[in-house]
Amino acid sequence: MKIFHAMGLTLLLLLTTLSSSGAAEADLRAIIAKFATVTDFSETGAVVQELTATGDPAVERPLAALAEGNLYIRTADSMVFVGKEGDENVQLFDPLSGEAAGEASEDDITKITVNNTLRRAIRDALGTLTLGSKDPTVRIAAADTMFKTPDAANIEPLDAAIASETVASVKALLEQARAASILVSDKPDADKLAAIALIGSRGDRDAVSLLTSVEANASGAVKDAATAAIANINSTLALWDAGQNIWYGISLGSVLLLAAIGLAITFGVMGVINMAHGEMVMLGAYTTFVVQQVIRTSFPGLFDWSLVIALPLAFLVAALVGLVIERGVIRFLYGRPLETLLATWGVSLILQQAVRSIFGPTNQEVGNPSWMSGSFDIGQLAITWNRLWILVFALTVFGVLLYVMKRTPWGLQMRAVTANRRMAASMGIRTPWVDALTFALGSGIAGIAGVALSQIDNVSPNLGRGYIIDSFMVVVFGGVGNLWGTLVGAFSLGIVNKFLEPYAGAVLGKIVVLVLIILFIQKRPRGLFALKGRAVEA
Amino acid sequence: MITGRFFAAGADRRIAITIFILLAAAIIVPLLNLAVSPTSAFYVPAYIVALTGKYLCYALLALALDLVWGYCGILSLGHGAFFALGGYAMGMYLMRQIGSRGVYGNPILPDFMVFLNYKELPWFWYGFDHFWFAAIMVLAVPGLLAFIFGWFAFRSRVTGVYLSIITQAMTYALLLAFFRNDMGFGGNNGLTDFKDILGFNVQADATRSALFAASAVMLALAVFVTWAIVGSKYGKLLMAVRDAESRTRFLGWRAENVKLFAFTVSAVMAGIAGALYVPQVGIINPGEFEPSNSIEVVIWAAVGGRGTIVGPIIGALLVNAGKSWFTGVLPELWLFALGGLFVAVTLLLPKGIIGMWDSWRGNARALRAASVVEEAAAKVGVASATSKPARSPARNPGEWSWSDPEPQAAE
């Protein structure tokens, strides 16, 4: 009789659980109410486990609140609430539905305390729960957490989740998480070997760390398989690392290209060593800063366009300053390159101090527009948007400049003057104008380089100093008077630099590059792509 | 024979006067500092002695640069590196003299090495507890670097702005290297906290006066050596290389050897200047390798008048006195003034103060009859126009008159 009674009750309970969520909610509430009676952490942990065991996604809210220390008990009626601390009182919410349930002063409620062990338990529990979430990104995050903290208990919920999963990519992640869980379970070796194969195909650093711990604990075939998988992954990762270094190198190369390309023109066409070139870059960066300041105060909506607006302005500012320098100083020093070097150095000091007097010596804040911030991954490569855009920008500038030099009348005149000044003058080319405009063009390009560099470097009066020696190295290495030489020079220096860095450290790598260039110049004093001439000395 | 020339008239008399003034200063200034009571009007305060002593070291550096730039046409933008290397050699000797009086009281290791957990003295610090060894290193290290660097550079005919740029790269590379703690030269902080030199307290007035005297005597000696080099047959060769390198080569001279000798001698002079400088200022750090320092040296020589012996000394003293005054009174304006000086000197005073003085006196007869030294000074302006690549005789046969200066494409 009693058995029938019990069976009937169980059946009833089962039915109600299946049929109505209201009854399930009541159950959940019953379990949650137990929080009011707990006296220590282990009892709290038991309640958490009980909640997790229901497998109901609704428990996510109270559990998350508990982990953050936001679950309260009202002293008066032992009811459990999620609390949100206000100015004076704590706002109370229903733990399941999340509906507001009035306020209470802090004296009337008690916080349910948690320790780190509990927090970890809750996080794991939530990870299991969120597998059933409707949002794929949440499921991915859950799979990821389970992969990193594998637990044999995860296998069953994962099996269920894999069965119901429809998105292929999420399913793959879930299977990897399941494989990770299998490795720490006591399943037969055959399953574990399959799991290792699956994880080995994942091929990232997380997989390596997981397999390393497996390798340490396992024996026999599993251990061997793990060792082999680790070696396999590491060799792939080494390739990715090389790829990452190449990318860093290309990125550095694009920066060098931007900084050096204007110098290449003035040096190539006029033989003028413009020591103030770095300051033109700095002027461009400060123009960006001013444009952003104006936009911030007057047209906040245009912020994403600030760089586009700054580009022509920076070009104009730097080109104008360049024109003034050419007409005011350099014009009188033609044919005396060493003295030009000194005079432009003096100009650079004046420009630096002028900027320091106007804007102050500290770094200025130049913001990234939204389309330049953040990053994305290709395989194991992390690529930031601003670096990518600078590469695109550098190549665009290079392309435009190449077009100007090769396809426009002005470029033709520039090349004619470079090749043979007197003959060009005899043909009616106004060489002084070509000189002035070339210098303005080179300076203007330095200005727009400053716009790009303001995105990745500190905008301070010393900005240009950091680039001037590197730019010279690029120009001298690539060969003067040849844009392609500058391109090749910039990228090869960038890549060599970044490849040396992991082995030699950043500073030593740079020193090695400098020494290599010095040696290289001994071998080819005119750079990689020297202009051919019949001069006895050049 | 040299002595005969030394007491001759004209520009050589200028050298003689300079040497005389320097030697006199080496005696009188210490006397006025040590033997005259502080209340007297003739008393020279200790800080003035230290300051002028520092200027004399700069003057020696400028003279060293002038030997290669003014007389041989090699614009080195890395002379600060030789100066700093000489300074580091002296600094290492002074560090070893501290002994167990350092903060950590280690009798062998300097403080920074204890701090950086060095267990034993690096091998390149051996020997620096002896003054004679340090003195040899002061000469040898910059000289050797210059010899090796020059041997490569001049042999492969790296000239003009290319040479300037790689000398700049050299000092920049050394700057980065000396900033590293692993190098064993004190990293960022360099070497400082010196106590004794040759057993005398570095801070004492008498030692400072002695260092001043040593700087003045050394500068006088350098003036004499430079004058002897420039006045010799080799000096003529030096200027021939400066004015028309390929022509000299075609005449059968080894231009690279001529340049290499001048470059090495000049580097050794710069090293001595650095070694005298360090005990007087009490610190040497990687900042001395800054490329901008080396460029500043060039302007000292240019202000005074390159291609003269007295010019760089006057330039170094004037510019540095100006710097001390400006940075005290109007620190904001110093860089404007320095920058303006670079522009003004290159545009308006290509021959420097000495050159302007000579032409201002309008003493054409003196110019014509002058010895090699003055000839060189007068020639500089014209020379640079004729010595440039595209105007080289082989390229433009015959006389081609071109009224205005014109740019030359780099090749």
Q: Which residues of B211-244 are buried (b: 16+ CB within 10 A; e: fewer)?
A: bbbbbbbbbbbbbbebbebbbeeebebbbbbbbb
| Arithmetic mean of pLDDT, A421-428 | 89
Name the residue among A346, A514, A521 with its Cβ closest to that of B158: A521
Instruction: Measure in Å the smallest separation between the Cα of A80 and chain B Cα atoms.
Output: 58
Q: What is the pLDDT of residue A18?
A: 46
Task: Select from B68, B165, B259, B345 the residue whose CB has the most chain A CBs within 10 Å, as the one to mutate to test that interface.
Answer: B165
Q: What is the pLDDT of residue B295?
A: 92
Q: Are B355 and B308 in contact (CB under 8 A)?
A: yes
Instruction: Sort out which chain B residues have CB atoms less than 8 A from A523's CB and list them.
Output: 156
Give dist(CA B213, CA A525) in Å, integer: 44
Q: Where are the domains of chain A?
A: 2-114, 131-218, 265-474
Q: What is the pLDDT of residue A19?
A: 44
Pairing type for strands A375-378 and A381-384 reads antiparallel
Are A341 and B332 inside 8 Å of each other by CB?
A: no
Q: What is the pLDDT of residue A5?
A: 59
Name the residue among B347, B350, B405 with its Cβ closest to that of A334: B405
Name the residue among B149, B164, B176 with its Cβ closest to that of A338: B164
Q: Could you tell me how many residues make up chain B?
A: 411
Residue that the structure tokens 């716009």 belong to: A451
Residue that the structure tokens 């069953």 belong to: A156
Give dist(CA A136, CA A131) in Å, integer: 9
Give dist(CA B143, CA B145) in Å, integer: 6
Residues contacting residue A164 through CB under 8 Å, at least 6 positions apart: none
- Alpha carbons within 13 angstroms on the beta-carbon side of residue B380 total 27
Task: Select from A269, A334, A342 the residue whose CB has the most chain B CBs within 10 Å, as the one to mutate to test that interface.
Answer: A342
Q: Are B295 and A342 in contact (CB under 8 A)?
A: yes
Q: How many CB pairs under 8 A join A and B?
A: 200
Name the residue among B155, B159, B340 with its Cβ closest to that of A350: B340
Give dist(CA A477, CA A480) in Å, integer: 8
Q: What is the pLDDT of residue B378?
A: 54
Q: What is the pLDDT of residue A450?
A: 92
The mean of the pLDDT values for chain A is: 82
Name the residue among B155, B176, B388 with its Cβ closest to that of A335: B388
Q: What is the pLDDT of residue B391?
A: 38
Instruction: Describe the crossing of helices A205-217 and A220-270 by its angle, rounded to 10 degrees.
Output: 150
Instruction: Sort out which chain B residues have CB atoms less than 8 A from A518's CB and list them.
Output: 149, 152, 166, 169-170, 173
Q: Is A8 exposed, middle or buried (0-12, 13-18, 19+ CB in 10 A)?
A: exposed
pLDDT confidence band for A205 (50 / 70 / 90): confident
- End-to-end CA distance of chain A, in Å? 114
Mean pLDDT by 10 residues, chain B (411 residues): 53 87 93 86 87 95 95 93 96 90 85 86 90 95 95 86 88 92 86 88 90 96 94 93 91 93 96 96 93 92 91 95 90 89 89 84 59 55 43 36 48 40
Closest-CA residue of B relative to A419 is B409
Nearest-Å Rg of the Cα atoms of chain B is 22
Cα distances (angstroms) measured from residue B383 to each of B229, B242, B387:
20, 8, 6
Q: What is the pLDDT of residue A53?
A: 72
Q: DSSP for A468-507?
A: HHHHHHHHHHH-TT-HHHHHHHHHHHHHHHHHHHHHH-HH
The residue with greater pLDDT, A375 or A357, is A357
A57: which 2 tokens? 């996604």
Type of residue found at B40: S
E strand or H helix that includes residue B17: helix B11-34
Instruction: Describe the crossing of helices B291-304 and B334-348 by its angle, rounded to 10 degrees.
Output: 50
Pairing type for strands A79-85 and A71-74 reads antiparallel
Q: Is A72 exposed, middle or buried (0-12, 13-18, 19+ CB in 10 A)?
A: buried
Instruction: Sort out which chain A residues have CB atoms less than 8 A from B332's CB and list them.
Output: 353, 357
Are A469 and B291 inside 8 Å of each other by CB?
A: yes
Instruction: Select from A447, A422, A437 the least CA-distant residue to A278.
Output: A447
Give dist(CA B337, CA B357) in Å, integer: 22
Q: Which residues of A119-128 are buried (b: 16+ CB within 10 A; e: fewer)?
A: eebbebbbbb
Percent helix, strand, coil in chain A, to 5, is: 75, 5, 20
Instruction: Measure in Å the smallest separation between the Cα of B358 and chain A Cα atoms.
Output: 21
Q: What is the pLDDT of residue A84?
A: 78
Are A268 and B409 inside 8 Å of each other by CB?
A: yes
Within its chain, how far is the Cα of A482 from the centroid? 34
Are A533 and B394 inside 8 Å of each other by CB?
A: no
B46: which 2 tokens? 């200790």
Q: Sign (positive/negative) of CA torsion B23, B24, B30, B34?
A: positive
B21: which 2 tokens? 């003034």
E strand or H helix that includes residue A375: strand A375-378
| Arithmetic mean of pLDDT, A217-222 | 77
Cα distances (angstroms) measured from residue B101 to each of B98, B115, B205, B212:
6, 15, 21, 26
Give dist(CA A110, CA A71) in Å, integer: 9
Closest-CA residue of B relative to A521 is B158
Percent of chain A with pLDDT over 90: 21
Q: Could you tell me how many residues make up chain A?
A: 538
The total of other beta-carbon atoms located within 10 Å of residue B372's CB is 18
Name the residue among B155, B176, B342 with its Cβ closest to that of A343: B342
Lowest mean pLDDT among A70-79, A392-401, A438-447: A70-79
Q: What is the pLDDT of residue B365?
A: 54
The total of other beta-carbon atoms located within 10 Å of residue A246's CB is 17
Are B158 and A480 inside 8 Å of each other by CB?
A: no
Q: Is A236 exposed, middle or buried (0-12, 13-18, 19+ CB in 10 A)?
A: middle
Are A518 and B166 inside 8 Å of each other by CB?
A: yes
Lowest mean pLDDT among A61-65, A289-293, A464-468, B54-58: A61-65
A315: which 2 tokens? 């070009």
Name the residue among B152, B392, B410 with its Cβ closest to that of A536: B392
Give dist(CA B289, CA B180) in Å, integer: 13
Lowest mean pLDDT among A37-41, A254-258, B232-236: A37-41
Give dist(CA A241, CA A250) in Å, integer: 14
Instruction: Measure in Å the smallest separation between the Cα of A390 and chain B Cα atoms.
Output: 26
Q: Where are the domains of chain B?
A: 2-385
Give dist(CA B283, CA B172) in Å, integer: 20
> In 3-state terms, what secondary structure has residue B189?
helix
Are A337 and B173 inside 8 Å of each other by CB?
A: no
Q: Are A441 and A487 in contact (CB under 8 A)?
A: no
> In 3-state terms, what secondary structure has residue A87?
coil
Instruction: Measure in Å the smallest separation between the Cα of B350 and chain A Cα atoms.
Output: 9
Catalogue the long-range contacts made by A198-204 (C-beta closer than 8 Å, 24 or more residues apart).
Answer: A199/A229, A200/A228, A200/A229, A200/A232, A200/A233, A202/A176, A203/A232, A203/A233, A203/A236, A203/A237, A203/A380, A204/A233, A204/A237, A204/A380
The model's pLDDT over A46-64, given as tens digits with 9 standing for 90+, comes to 887 777 777 666 777 777 7
Percent helix, strand, coil in chain B, to 5, is: 70, 0, 25
Give dist(CA B74, CA B256) in Å, integer: 11
Task: Select from A324, A345, A512 the residue whose CB has the most chain B CBs within 10 Å, as the one to mutate to test that interface.
Answer: A345
Q: For A331-482, where are the alpha helices, taking DSSP H only?
A: 337-359, 385-407, 409-419, 421-426, 431-453, 465-478
A528: which 2 tokens? 């990689």
Instruction: Select from B7, B13, B17 the least CA-distant residue to B220.
Output: B17
Lowest mean pLDDT among A404-408, A520-524, B88-92: A520-524
Dihedrals phi, psi of B192, to nearest 5 degrees = -155, -170
Name the residue among A356, A473, A525 with its Cβ closest to that of B156: A525
Are A346 and B338 inside 8 Å of each other by CB?
A: yes
The model's pLDDT over A73-85, given as tens digits with 9 standing for 90+, comes to 887 777 888 887 7
> In 3-state terms, what secondary structure has residue B38?
coil
ipTM value greater than 0.90 = no
